[in-house]
Structure 1
Amino acid sequence: MISAHARQGVTIIELIVSIGIITILFGVSTPLLRTFLLRSDLDVAQNSIVQDTYRSQSLAMSGEGDSSWGVKILSGQVTVFRGTSYVTRNTGFDESYALSSSIAISGQSEYVFSKLTGFPTPIGTTTLTNAANETRSLTINSKGMIEEQ
């Protein structure tokens, strides 16, 4: 007869149960982590666009460079620019910031703020969508205020 103190090690059943529990935990947590990361990318993109939009409006209102300033929102990037449009801008003053490539941009993608008044042209809504089909909308009104939804 083997004493209780002589038995050491792990049985195959204990090993299988442990591996099963770890597999179940991993299987449950992976989709939750993915959803969290996608939502986080969406929140970061929204905050970055809002911040850069207010920055371009602030530059226009202060008369920086005696010019209008704008913001261009592209997939994977947002650019604060100097000039009356993104196409005719002075690229030497561009400030570009990366956005997650998993974020799709739709709706209005360019806003230009008038020198000194800071009023935007055009007004409109920009919609951000992540791979989980969650959306955030940013609406800029005629006074340049941003409503986040």
Structure 2
Amino acid sequence: MSDQCLEGFTLIEILIAVAILVILIIIPVPAFRFFQKTVDLNNARDEIISTLDLSRTMTTASEGAAKYGVYFDKVNGKYILFKGNSYQARNPDFDKIYTLPSLVEISEINLKLTINPDEPSNEVVFNRITGTANQTGNLILKQKLQSPETRTIYVLASGKIVTEIPAVSENQRKKDSRHTHFNLGWSIQNATVLKFKFLSPQPNQIETVDMANYFNAEKTLFDWSGKFTVNNIDQEFRIHTHLLDSANTLLCIHRDRNSGKNTEEVVIYIVDGVDKEIAHYFADKNDTMQKGEIYVSSIEIQ
């Protein structure tokens, strides 16, 4: 009798153990599925950001002397890296098509043309040299099957791609001439001297920098920084290139006026056979700057 009870009790224990094991196996399945969907959503967001960044890099590098962009196909759950001024005018031979994970979809496309905010768009195209975007706004991804999880990608006018709205929008951010990009429209590869003409001392104080020491070997990069003392105040500058080839130069000048520095009026030239005026900084409180009228194609104050 005692043997039968012992055997019956052992069987019950086995059944309980099996039941517990089954429960332990079943319970994590929904959690794993939820985790997998979250991973897919994050991966989809990161891959789109990488593709946008890639198209911007290809554009600013003037790869194929063309613009690049990304087109979003909401209906088919795809996005396409393309070569051209627009998706409609692209060369389809260069298309690279990406497909979203099966559990992820494009919920909203809230992109608008920078020059015409009333016109919606399904693409983002970047500008050569500056890397700015022709479209701004956001793109929202969501999990399928009525899940509340979403991920938002923001496209800024500067061409930056971010996942959170900046605390201060680019339109609200105070911009001044302490950091300015100069699209010259010509190459400085044959230039020899940086020239600074400070107008306050009489006679004017002239400072020069031999440019040869600040190019890389291929002359595809120039980077100089230094300071001069004018009227007993340090005048500090950094001048470098974002783009330099045989045809063009995107030059960047940093002139920080914090802490009482850089208070003097100065004209900056690049000497390339002749003195080519690049920028004229004034000594007013507004930090006014004028670009050279002849030798600078356009500027962008950062």
Cα shift at 1:102: 1.7
Q: Which runs of 5+ in 1 are unaligned?
A: none
1:41-91 per-position Cα deviation (integer Å, ceiling 9, x unaligned): 001101100000000001111111111100123353332110122222111
Secondary structure class of the residue paired with 1:120: coil
Asked if 1:118 corresponds to 2:131, the answer is yes
Please tell me whether the aligned partners of residues 86 and 110 of structure 1 are also in contact (alpha carbons under 8 angstroms): yes
> What SS does the aligned partner of 1:123 have?
strand
Choose from 147, 150, 162 the match for 1:147. Answer: 162
Pair 1:134-2:133 in alignment? no
Single out whichever of 15-24 and 134-143 deviates more from structure 2: 15-24
- Structure 1 12/114 Cα, relative in aligned 2: closer, same or farther at 3 Å? same
1:31 corresponds in structure 2 to 30
In the TM superposition, 1:1-149 aligns within 5 A as: 11-75=10-74, 76-105=77-106, 106-107=108-109, 108=111, 109-131=122-144, 132-149=147-164
Find the aligned partners of 1:88 and 1:14 in 2 and give their Cα distance: 72
Q: How far, CA to CA, are the matches of 1:101 and 1:84 in structure 2?
A: 30
Tell me the TM-score normalised to structure 1 length: 0.86
Q: Which has more radius of gyration?
A: 2
Structure having the higher strand fraction is 2
Aligned length: 145
RMSD: 2.2
Tell me, yes or no, if the aligned pair for 1:49 and 1:73 is still in contact at 8 Å.
no
Q: Which structure features the higher share of helix residues? A: 1
Deviations, residues 6-35 of structure 1 (Å, cap 9, x unaligned): x99x94312321221122212320111011
Normalised TM-score (structure 2): 0.44
Cα deviation, residue 2, structure 1: 8.3
C-alpha distance in 2 between matches for 1:79 and 1:53:
10
Question: AA paired with 1:96?
Answer: I
How far apart in 2 are the matches of 1:54 and 1:45? Answer: 14
Aligned mates of 1:12, 1:89 — CA distance in 2: 72
Distance (Å, rounded) in 1 between the aligned partners of 2:14 and 2:87: 62
